[in-house]
Amino acid sequence: MKRVSRLTVLAIPAAATLVLPSLAWAADGSTPNTLRATIDGAGTVKSVSSLAANGTSSPYTGDLPLKVSISRTVQGGTSTYTYHVENTFSKTQNVTYTDTQGVTHTAATTVQLPLVAQLGVTLPKSFTNVSAPNGVVTTDPDGTNRILWNLVLFSPLGSPTQDETFTATGKGAPTSEMVATAVNPATTAGLSQAQQDATAGSQQDDFWQGYASGGNTGLTQLASGTAAMIAGLKQLASGAHTLASGLQAAGAGATKLDAGTKSAYVGSQALSSGVSKIHAGQVKLAAGLTTIDGFLKQYADPTNGLPAAAAGAHSVMDGVDALKTLYVGTDAGSDPSKWTGLLGGIALVKAGLLQLQSGVQASASCTATILTALTTGAHTLGESQPCLTSTGGVYPFDTTQVTGNTATLLAGVAASFTAVATDAGDASPANGLTPLDTFNPGITQLLGGLAQVRGGLTHPAGTFGATDPGGALELLTLLSTGLHTKLVPGLDAAAAGAGPLSTGTDGALTGAVQLRDGSASAATGAAALTSGLGQLSAGQHQVATGLPAAVDGSAKIAAGLDQVLDGAGKVNGGILAVQSGAVGPLNTQLMQGSQNQKKQIAIVEAAAALASQAPGGAGTSYVLTQFNPKLAASSTPAGNDHTGRNVGIGLGGFAALVIAVVAGFALGRRSQAAHAVV
């Protein structure tokens, strides 16, 4: 109805200037195909006649394509008249149109006969306070009020049913007259421009829809790309979490290894010095996760890595065990054949000295014999010797079995007592000492010296104070225990875990290429393991303290990747939101607007085709005149009926009406296009 109102306003000036004697033409037969109907005060048709071009008139029994219903309501002294106009000629048929994408659409649509009409109402002079919201009220010089409505009675340019009203105060009855004709919107001068405007509007919508469609496609591709990026970030985040877990396990292993190396450090400075070079590799590890993969592969290398270090630790452990067993030895038990090493030699010397003392005390003549046997070794185990009363008269050991340092020690002892033995066999010794005076203090000193030597080789820790670590045997036992229980197992565990740990880092290589490249720099620290286990302690301590930083860094990287992943998900969601909330709806709106316009053009074309089927034939005009003798008698002198003139005025305004229809349609289209673009 808004569009119809705009058309009405535009048509009024033109209608006022185009006053053509249409009804007069109909009376003399100069206008072809005019159907004139007489209606009563309610709009009911009473009679219809056909006025031919040759001036003949004949009754018409067919249906009219329009009707009007008149009703009146009264409130107080004000009457409201309503004219319900309806286009009754319509058909449901399929209309076909092609959208921007080249897709053909067919829709079942009700198409009305393309009628344009003017409704005129003449009011008695007694009516005052006349108001017609959608009509134009004019007053003749004699005071008669007239109301004119322009009507477009088909869609999409207008509406097949319309209600027009006016109010007035006073007594009397108005008369109405409606003049209508069917037009061809596609060929009628002026209306073809409306179709061109609709086509231009459709093309404009198509233009903007192409941009919107491209933007929608781009957003789809962008959303797909961000989804792929999110998938990659998920893989990278998973690898980073795996790496963090692996580094935590490495940190636990490094802590155990550090404990073992601290125990071994007491007896192996060289081992501590060698492992200190690991620190360089660990510093590079803290500098970037990119260096870890290569470092761990070097760490697991069987030639230069932890497996080689573990093998070296086993060798050191075997050497310490051999030093403890073969060189320090033992003097436990009473069986000399089970005595070994330095402790065994000392025990043998001590036993020999005690026997020497016993022999000298028993008989001075035995001194030379015993010393000769000790210095020359000219006896065998179990050989009978009466001087050795403490052992049942036989030699308790074979001096030929004593080698190395023990043999040298025995030779020195024998040499130191040769002179004493000579004097001991002399009845008149040169030094004036008795055998007991000579031997007992010396042997006592020798036994004391042997006790000191033995004490240096073995004594409990703390014997000589809180800081006393014990004898050589205790130190070697401590070193051997550390090697057996801590260092060697720790190195074995690290060597066994280095391979799986390096394998675990491979999962992070997809998103962290630098992790692989930088880790090669840790080879220097790992290769230093071959220089000696004496360097291991300090370096491994650095590993134990540095790995927590690496664990913390890897955890931060994993957390950062989680944040990046969350942000990427939000970006993807935002793109999808823009696509679904803005570009997508705009694309759909423009596409739908273009389709609606093309559909409207198709409907207009279908209506143009329907004009040829109008009742009474193409080009027929329809006049519905309300006959009111009472009003005519009271308001118009006899023989001066203005009805014919009014009808002529109505028919003469069709050209203006067509122009108004075109202008209103064009304005409406532009407004719709502007809203669609916005």
Among residues 488, 510, 531, the one where a domain terminates is 531
Instruction: For residues 409-424, give the mean pLDDT.
Output: 56
Q: Give the whole-angstrom CA distance, residue 455 versus residue 563.
A: 68
Residue 177 pLDDT greater than 90, yes or no: yes
Residue 75 pLDDT greater than 50, yes or no: yes
Question: 93 and 7: one domain?
Answer: yes
How would you class 564 by CB atoms within 10 Å of its CB: exposed for 0-12, middle for 13-18, buried for 19 or more?
middle
Sequence-separated (6 or more) residues with CB below 8 Å from residue 320? 267, 476, 479, 480, 483
In a domain, residue 212? The reply is: no
Question: 151 and 40: one domain?
Answer: yes
Question: 184 and 290: one domain?
Answer: no
Question: 332 and 200: one domain?
Answer: no
Q: What pLDDT is attached to residue 168?
A: 96
Instruction: For residues 131-138, give the mean pLDDT.
Output: 94
Question: 164 and 54: one domain?
Answer: yes
More confident residue, 372 or 638: 372
Question: 597 and 527: one domain?
Answer: no
Q: Cβ distance 33 to 611 under 8 Å?
A: no
**pLDDT tier at 44, thresholds 50, 70, 90:** very high
Omega of the bond leading into 156 within 30 degrees of 0 (cis):
yes
Residue 646 pLDDT greater than 70, yes or no: no
Instruction: Specify the DSSP class assigned to residue 55.
Output: S
Q: Cβ distance 254 to 543 under 8 Å?
A: yes
In a domain, residue 118? The reply is: yes
Q: What pLDDT is attached to residue 132?
A: 96
Q: What pLDDT is attached to residue 583?
A: 66
Q: What pLDDT is attached to residue 625?
A: 95
In a domain, residue 582? The reply is: no
Q: Give the whole-angstrom CA distance, residue 125 versus residue 141.
A: 11
Instruction: Specify the DSSP class assigned to residue 534.
Output: B
Instruction: For residues 473-486, give the mean pLDDT.
Output: 85
**pLDDT tier at 204, thresholds 50, 70, 90:** low
Instruction: For residues 404-419, give the mean pLDDT.
Output: 60
Closest by CA position to 160, among listed 93, 107, 94, 85: 85
Q: What percent of the chain has pLDDT over 90?
A: 17
Q: Give the whole-angstrom CA distance, residue 657 versus residue 297.
A: 93
Question: 161 and 37: one domain?
Answer: yes
Which segment, 157-171, 250-264, 321-335, is predicted with the most confidence on average? 157-171
Tens of pLDDT, residues 340-395: 878 888 887 787 777 766 666 655 557 667 766 766 666 777 777 777 766 667 77
pLDDT-wise least confident of 83-87, 310-314, 383-387: 383-387
Q: What pLDDT is attached to residue 165?
A: 97
Q: What pLDDT is attached to residue 27?
A: 35
- Single-letter code of the amino acid located at 233: L
More confident residue, 143 or 504: 143
Residue 284 pLDDT greater than 50, yes or no: yes
Instruction: For residues 643-669, give the mean pLDDT.
Output: 45
Q: Cβ distance 153 to 7 under 8 Å?
A: no
Three-state secondary-structure class, residue 394: strand
For residue 137, the enclosing domain spans: 2-204+593-677
More confident residue, 609 or 326: 609
Q: What pLDDT is attached to residue 634?
A: 34
Which segment, 11-20, 270-279, 570-579, is predicted with the most confidence on average? 570-579
Residue 24 pLDDT greater than 80, yes or no: no
Q: Cβ distance 248 to 518 under 8 Å?
A: no
Question: 600 and 526: one domain?
Answer: no
Question: 383 and 527: one domain?
Answer: yes
In a domain, residue 16? The reply is: yes
Our count of domains for the chain comes to 2
More confident residue, 386 or 159: 159
Q: Give me 21's structure tokens.
A: 């004697």
Q: Cβ distance 495 to 260 under 8 Å?
A: no
Q: Cβ distance 153 to 194 under 8 Å?
A: no
Residue 47 pLDDT greater than 80, yes or no: yes
In a domain, residue 546? The reply is: no
Question: 504 and 602: one domain?
Answer: no
Q: What pLDDT is attached to residue 408?
A: 65
Q: Give the whole-angstrom CA distance, residue 223 versus residue 583.
A: 13
As a whole number, the mean pLDDT across the chain is: 73
Among residues 510, 531, 552, the one where a domain terminates is 531
**pLDDT tier at 406, thresholds 50, 70, 90:** low
Q: Give the whole-angstrom CA distance, residue 231 versus residue 224.
A: 11
In a domain, residue 588? The reply is: no
Which segment, 20-34, 320-334, 458-472, 492-506, is predicted with the most confidence on average? 458-472
Element spanning 577, H or E: helix 536-578
Q: What pLDDT is attached to residue 9?
A: 34
Instruction: For residues 124-134, give the mean pLDDT.
Output: 93
Q: What pLDDT is attached to residue 667?
A: 46
Closest by CA position to 178, among listed 90, 83, 291: 83
Residue 74 pLDDT greater than 90, yes or no: yes
Among residues 531, 556, 578, the one where a domain terminates is 531
Q: Give the whole-angstrom CA distance, residue 127 versus residue 423.
A: 180
The pTM assigned to this predicted structure is: 0.38
In a domain, residue 328? The reply is: yes
Beta strands in 476-567 (DSSP E): none
In a domain, residue 378? The reply is: yes
Which segment, 286-290, 367-371, 625-629, is predicted with the most confidence on average? 625-629
Tens of pLDDT, residues 509-543: 576 666 577 656 656 655 665 675 567 667 777 77
Question: 326 and 466: one domain?
Answer: yes
CA-based radius of gyration for the chain: 64
Question: 412 and 303: one domain?
Answer: yes
- Single-letter code of the amino acid located at 564: V
Longest dimension (CA), the chain: 203
